[in-house]
Amino acid sequence: MVYLSKFPSRLSELMEEKEWKSEEVSQKLGIAGSAVRAWLRGEKLPSLKNIVLLADLFGCSLDFLAGRKENFEEVAARPLPAFYGRLRELMKERGVNRYALTRSGAVNDSRITRWAKGESPSLPSLCVLADSLNISLDYLVGRTDY
């Protein structure tokens, strides 16, 4: 996913606007400073939990932060539903069953099984799902109603 390569620069840009260093961001998120620095260098991508915390901290959409959208969109923080339950709701809403989702190549069945057991999806998996279902990342995880 080419747009995920924009994540480090988006994070850096948002931090510069607030005049925050990586240590300040890590303290605000309650994570190690090394994690934030690895994100800024493009060595790692944040987990679902951490990208939501980042988006909440900066008040932006996940799609902007992940590089899926070019324009900043303000999104307010709100409690998120369990991911697998949310995915099932969206699949039903979109008329897509598990077989169709795996057959399309969006995700493999074992990954869906892990999500059903409570594992969080990776950011690349979220992007593939959002693309496949033609929805925003924020809608996929329950941050927005659109």
* The domain defined by 83-141 carries CATH number 3.30.499: no
d(CA 60, CA 63) in angstroms, rounded, equals 8
Query: What integer pLDDT is reported at residue 1 of this predicted model?
Result: 61
3 pLDDT tier (thresholds 50, 70, 90): confident
Superfamily of domain 2-66: lambda repressor-like DNA-binding domains (1.10.260.40)
- Domain 2-66 and domain 83-141, same fold? Reply is yes
What long-range pairs does 124-127 form, CB within 8 A, spacing at least 24? 124/1, 124/4, 124/45, 126/48, 126/62, 126/66, 127/1, 127/3, 127/4, 127/66, 127/68
Query: What integer pLDDT is reported at residue 106 of this predicted model?
Result: 82
pLDDT in tens, 83-142: 999 999 999 999 999 999 999 888 999 999 999 999 999 999 999 999 999 999 999 999
- What residue ranges do the domains of the chain occupy? 2-66, 83-141
Query: What integer pLDDT is reported at residue 4 of this predicted model?
Result: 85
Query: What integer pLDDT is reported at residue 64 of this predicted model?
Result: 97
Query: What integer pLDDT is reported at residue 66 of this predicted model?
Result: 95
- Amino acid of residue 65: L
Alpha helices by DSSP H, 30-107: 33-40, 48-58, 62-66, 83-94, 98-103
pLDDT in tens, 10-44: 999 999 999 999 999 999 999 999 999 999 999 99
pLDDT in tens, 47-77: 999 999 999 999 999 999 999 999 999 999 9
Q: Quick one: which H or E segment has residue 8?
A: helix 7-18
